Structure 1
């Protein structure tokens, strides 16, 4: 049960007054979040991203209730949890074959995503299975596709030898940014949708990935590793096995042509899944820097000011909070989490949507959970 000394005013656009007693998914200290709603209910559901009109979300899932294939597939759902026009809650967008990752909407309502299905309809063997260690997959069979939101009209957009994945689209609809191994390392590339022109944006050893555009489409933010010495040799060795070992990751920003690169975070642990604040002056991201002494298993969301480096913690679930994205109008936040309303431990990762409170009230700061 949640309580506060007084109720805050309704969030912008809210139809009814906010009742903290019903906000069971909100944790003490989460002053920027209200009305947290859970949209998936089992398995692993993550990387949920908004449509341009703010009404739908695309996400990846291995939840057996909607996906019995065994590998992550791409789905679309309404952001308010209502039924789609088909009468279903969730619509498969990808082919249902291979493994997919990183779905994102285009301005015309189609979805861009990465998939291995052209190489094989089966789930590919994971790097963790091959190396018997905790590593991330960099499947050389990932290519980038587009499809209608109902799964029809599948087309190859970006392909070729090596890993092509992690695509996101600029708010002005002109560009796709993605990560590729076409140079021999994991680097960022920008693809122009109108012409197909592709330019390389990064060129330093390490994993440059997970990039997003600023609200004005003039900058990018991404997470990167910069291994040296023995770590560099380990990185190269794993990459030859189509894998990377997540560890030290920091955030960087640059202009969309790759110029004016600068490092934003200098924190221990993994700092990743960044997304620009609606102002364009801050970055919201996931990090375990504050739990490294306890093994770094807890990830929370943090907000950092690009210019000053001022850091503010946003989530306090004590579990796993990651993959944040602001809605196009900046009033809502979607993210993935292991949180539960009953506070029980869970290995399920689900998709949540919350109202974003830019300026917390005294009641927001007094909010507590029992």
Structure 2
């Protein structure tokens, strides 16, 4: 299988292939200066300078953490990486410097899958299974004060903060097939935001706060599998209207984590062939 790391520009619909590789890579994040992308592959993290003459996968030293899944991302100041590493058979969240180093454990309990960082840098949002089903949790960056925001009504996943910190968006199948939802960071004001025939995952609010990018699977899809004909769609949270941007072969690994460029005018994704 070939992986294609791409950047999509909203204003023009232009797609730029940054990197084509026979390695299986997933889940791109932009660095805060917008100059590079962070991707996962084979349990490791890599940096790709996307405007380099010859972009390539440059390994990031994650110390003992060599069994990473694709749930990773950067702090608001761009200095710290959150990673999700398999510990004793279950995913656990750690942090380390962007340039690499020894990971520091964050979540005491497992499984925990990082997905979002609050704009003030004080909290992280993650998917975790504590009692029954997977639900949305938040804690301080050091793991203290873990709080469960959603109940056991279904499988909740992919939490990501809005730029102003007022909402956490996520996907949930509590109403049937997975759709997009949002909730306040204190767990109040739960709202369903899409009611489509597609099965919707991994909402990512834009830095400009005027739309939300998400992954749409075909009707009837269970979970978030790889190797599917999917679409990337853009939702206007005010009007509730969405539009399709890209159709591709992908799914798991395409946009699992925050993937917007800091300017909010473009985003990164991975497709496969």
Same fold (TM over 0.5): yes
Equivalenced residue count is 256
Closer/same/farther in 2, CA of residues 168 and 26 from structure 1, 3 Å limit: closer
Q: Distance in 1 between matches of 2:220 and 2:53?
A: 37
2:267 is the alignment partner of 1:333: yes
Q: Deviations over 1:112-154 (max 9, x none)?
A: 11111x42xxxxxxxxxxxxxxxxxxxx611111122343122
Structure 2 length as normaliser, TM-score? 0.81
| Root-mean-square deviation over aligned CA pairs | 2.9
Higher RCO (C-alpha under 8 Å, 6+ residues apart): 1
Maintained 8 Å contact 1:31/1:314: no
2:42 is the alignment partner of 1:74: no
Q: Which moved more, 1:217-226 or 1:280-289?
A: 280-289
Q: Distance in 2 between matches of 1:320 and 1:102?
A: 16
* 5+ residue gaps, structure 2: 1-5, 222-226
Q: How many Å apart are 1:222 and its aligned residue?
A: 0.6
Q: Please state whether the residue corresponding to 2:101 is helix, strand or coil.
A: coil
4+ aligned runs moved over 6 Å, structure 1: none
Aligned to 1:69: none
Q: Distance in 2 between matches of 1:290 and 1:316?
A: 15
Closer/same/farther in 2, CA of residues 101 and 201 from structure 1, 3 Å limit: same
Q: Distance in 2 between matches of 1:171 and 1:77?
A: 24
Q: Distance in 1 between matches of 2:218 and 2:158?
A: 18
Q: How many Å apart are 1:184 and its aligned residue?
A: 2.8
Q: Distance in 2 between matches of 1:183 and 1:54?
A: 39
Closer/same/farther in 2, CA of residues 35 and 272 from structure 1, 3 Å limit: closer
* 5+ residue gaps, structure 1: 1-24, 63-71, 120-139, 229-247, 339-345, 347-370
Closer/same/farther in 2, CA of residues 105 and 93 from structure 1, 3 Å limit: farther
Q: Distance in 1 between matches of 2:145 and 2:267?
A: 32
Q: Distance in 2 between matches of 1:306 and 1:269?
A: 17
Q: How many Å apart are 1:277 and its aligned residue?
A: 2.6
Closer/same/farther in 2, CA of residues 196 and 179 from structure 1, 3 Å limit: same
Closer/same/farther in 2, CA of residues 38 and 78 from structure 1, 3 Å limit: closer
Name the structure where strand makes up a greater proportion of residues: 2
Name the structure where helix makes up a greater proportion of residues: 1
Equivalent residue runs for 1:1-370 within 5 Å: 32-34=12-14, 36-62=16-42, 72-81=43-52, 89-94=57-62, 95=64, 97-106=66-75, 107-116=77-86, 118-119=87-88, 141-160=90-109, 162-193=110-141, 196-226=144-174, 248-289=177-218, 297-317=228-248, 319-320=249-250, 322-323=254-255, 325-338=259-272, 346=273
Q: Distance in 1 between matches of 2:208 and 2:261?
A: 13
Q: Distance in 2 between matches of 1:80 and 1:26?
A: 11
